């Protein structure tokens, strides 16, 4: 900024950056690096766009860490929150209840045809995962099967970063430093469509052999249905989910479908697991998109059988877990508005059309020699950049160069992906493809 009058004390881009670096410890960030590449101060959001303090705007291609569904200023969700705020912001959910929580649980039950008719509330994704793990273990214990206390998870799977969730997460950068603190779990091969057709069979064989050896000691398998997002948008077919459901039945272990990222229509159906066309998982965890990207909320949905295993005169057989903000009324009101959108406004149908526009716009990358494994599942599109072309700090350089194209995007390693808000039309899809291609030209040109 050369114009000294615009360096006001408040609200300048640089001022917020400086103050943020002093006082805010940013997540998922080496702060020494943030001093070199400071965070981007965002002044406001509107539709899929985020605006900075200097009049520039950026398309939120990652839906602000996969939470946003209908843009940053959706009137329906805003109105629902405002109305709820005028009525009741929060009341504890032990000993009390309230309409937004009841309605939300009923709607979620209906979405599973009543199969997952009991909803437990929490506030963030990792807590929902902790709850599903604890519930599974405790449910077996209440049935006299105390030995079932181990968990199976998939290679490169991600389920959050609290100690319990991290124990079933297999992403080295998040896990390795804390490995000594974590309960051991069984990590089995994950299916990966990039590795050819027999990847799925190999993954299923690996799972079967762990279950054969340890099923009497295993409480549950936890998976991310269809797309392992944090792994770098690793995709598999619904047939894998069908086979996994059958294996969990055969060996009598719970199946936890972690739909925190893939739920709420991202993959083409409301729940990704629906595409398996088989019986439901024993638990589904939801968070991120459920409040449309407005307020923290997470949920664990489970079955009558699990619920019944806690039903008793004995207090200690109950599920006594709680969080202070459990079932927050504002967050539930936002989630109800989100589910009403799915019920009344053909969100999934419109997403199919939006997914096609994305597919068409990015199709030229299929024959781009710099790019490998262009793949898509619903509103998630990803490709890998060839390892020999990326050079140092590819993700950071791509992120910075993309900003110049009005695009906010954060690759995972050398995987570039888009998980945009459901506000794509043909011209936005073309803009996104153009911006991504320009960024590739820029970044790979300067690669060593």
Ligand X SMILES: *Cc1c(COP(=O)(O)O)cnc(C)c1O
Question: Which chain residues interact with ligand X by CB under 6 A?
Answer: 124-126, 129, 158-160, 224, 229-230, 258, 260-261, 287-288
Give whichever of 125 and 232 is closer to ligand X, judged by the CB atom.
125
CB contact at 8 A, 71 and 47: yes
Shortest Cβ 265–ligand X spacing (Å): 15
Shortest Cβ 124–ligand X spacing (Å): 4
Distance in angstroms (rounded) separating the CA atoms of residues 336 and 290: 9
Residue 282, CA distances (Å) to 21, 56, 108, 279, 408 in order: 43, 46, 14, 9, 37
Alpha helix positions (H), 160-223: 163-167, 172-175, 198-214
Phi-psi region of 299 (alpha: psi -120 to 50; beta: other; left: phi over 0): beta
Give whichever of 160 and 232 is closer to ligand X, judged by the CB atom.
160
Beta bridge partners of 299: 121, 286
Measured at the alpha carbon of residue 65, what is the angle toward residues 60 and 70, in degrees to the nearest 5?
55
Give whichever of 129 and 207 is closer to ligand X, judged by the CB atom.
129
Distance in angstroms (rounded) separating the CA atoms of residues 314 and 379: 46
Beta bridge partners of 57: 51
Which contiguous run of DSSP H or E holds residue 301?
strand 298-302
Give whichever of 159 and 414 is closer to ligand X, judged by the CB atom.
159
Give whichever of 299 and 424 is closer to ligand X, judged by the CB atom.
299
In the 8-state DSSP scheme, what is residue 223?
E
Structure tokens given for 384: 């890998």
Shortest Cβ 274–ligand X spacing (Å): 17
Give whichever of 153 and 371 is closer to ligand X, judged by the CB atom.
153
Shortest Cβ 123–ligand X spacing (Å): 8
Rg (CA), the chain: 22
Distance in angstroms (rounded) separating the CA atoms of residues 436 and 198: 32
The DSSP secondary structure of 116-174, one letter per residue, reads T-EEEEESSHHHHHHHHHHHHHHHHHHTT-TT--EEEEETT----SSHHHHHT---HHH
Shortest Cβ 227–ligand X spacing (Å): 9
Give whichever of 124 and 200 is closer to ligand X, judged by the CB atom.
124
Shortest Cβ 241–ligand X spacing (Å): 15
Shortest Cβ 257–ligand X spacing (Å): 10
User: 356: how many CB neighbours lie within 10 A of its CB?
Assistant: 14
Shortest Cβ 330–ligand X spacing (Å): 17
Shortest Cβ 427–ligand X spacing (Å): 30
Shortest Cβ 136–ligand X spacing (Å): 16
Give whichever of 72 and 159 is closer to ligand X, judged by the CB atom.
159
Measured at the alpha carbon of residue 306, what is the angle toward residues 301 and 310, in degrees to the nearest 5?
115
Give whichever of 148 and 288 is closer to ligand X, judged by the CB atom.
288
**Please, what sign has the CA dihedral across residues 113, 115, 119, 122?**
negative
Shortest Cβ 261–ligand X spacing (Å): 3
Distance in angstroms (rounded) separating the CA atoms of residues 6 and 371: 42
Q: How many helices (H) and strands (E) does the chain have?
A: 16, 16
Give whichever of 223 and 361 is closer to ligand X, judged by the CB atom.
223
Residue nearest to ligand X (CB): 125
Give whichever of 104 and 390 is closer to ligand X, judged by the CB atom.
104
Distance in angstroms (rounded) separating the CA atoms of residues 132 and 221: 11
């Amino acid at each position: 900024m050369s114009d000294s009058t615009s360096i006001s004390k408040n609200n300048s881009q640089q001022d917020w950056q400086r103050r943020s670096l002093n006082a805010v410890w940013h997540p998922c960030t080496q702060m020494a690096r943030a001093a070199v590449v400071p965070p981007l101060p965002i002044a406001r959001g509107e539709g899929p766009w985020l605006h900075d303090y200097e009049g520039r705007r950026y398309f939120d291609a990652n839906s602000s860490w996969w939470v946003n569904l209908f843009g940053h200023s959706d009137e329906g969700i805003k109105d629902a929150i405002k109305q709820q705020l005028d009525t009741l912001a929060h009341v504890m959910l032990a000993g009390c209840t309230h309409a937004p929580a009841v309605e939300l649980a009923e709607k979620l039950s209906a979405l599973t045809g009543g199969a997952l008719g009991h909803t437990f509330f929490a506030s963030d994704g990792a807590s929902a995962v902790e709850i599903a793990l604890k519930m599974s273990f405790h449910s077996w214990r209440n049935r006299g099967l105390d030995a079932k206390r181990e968990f199976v998870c998939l290679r490169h799977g991600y389920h959050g970063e609290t100690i319990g969730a991290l124990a079933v997460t297999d992403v080295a950068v998040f896990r390795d430093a804390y490995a000594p603190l974590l309960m051991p779990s069984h990590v089995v091969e994950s299916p990966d469509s990039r590795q050819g057709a027999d990847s799925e069979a190999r993954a299923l064989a690996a799972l079967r052999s762990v279950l054969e050896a340890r099923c009497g000691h295993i409480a549950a398998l936890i998976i991310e249905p269809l797309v392992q997002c944090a792994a770098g948008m690793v995709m598999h077919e619904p047939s894998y989910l069908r086979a996994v459901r059958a294996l969990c039945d055969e060996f009598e272990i719970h199946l936890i479908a972690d739909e925190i990222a893939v739920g709420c229509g991202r993959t083409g159906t409301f729940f990704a697991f629906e595409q398996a066309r088989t019986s439901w998982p024993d638990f589904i965890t939801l968070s991120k998109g459920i409040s449309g990207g407005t307020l923290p909320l997470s949920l664990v949905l489970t079955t009558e059988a699990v619920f019944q295993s806690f039903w008793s005169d004995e207090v200690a057989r109950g599920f006594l877990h709680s969080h202070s903000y459990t079932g927050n009324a504002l967050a539930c009101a936002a989630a109800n508005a989100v589910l009403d959108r799915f019920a009344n406004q053909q969100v999934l149908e419109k997403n199919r059309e939006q997914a096609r526009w994305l597919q068409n716009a990015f199709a030229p990358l299929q024959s781009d020699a710099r790019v490998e494994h262009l793949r898509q599942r619903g509103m998630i599109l990803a490709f890998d950049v060839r390892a020999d072309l990326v050079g140092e700090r590819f993700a950071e350089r791509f992120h910075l160069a993309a900003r110049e194209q009005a695009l906010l995007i954060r690759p995972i390693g050398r995987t570039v992906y888009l998980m945009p808000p459901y506000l794509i039309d043909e011209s936005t899809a073309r803009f996104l493809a153009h911006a991504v291609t320009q960024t590739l030209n820029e970044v790979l040109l300067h690669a060593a």
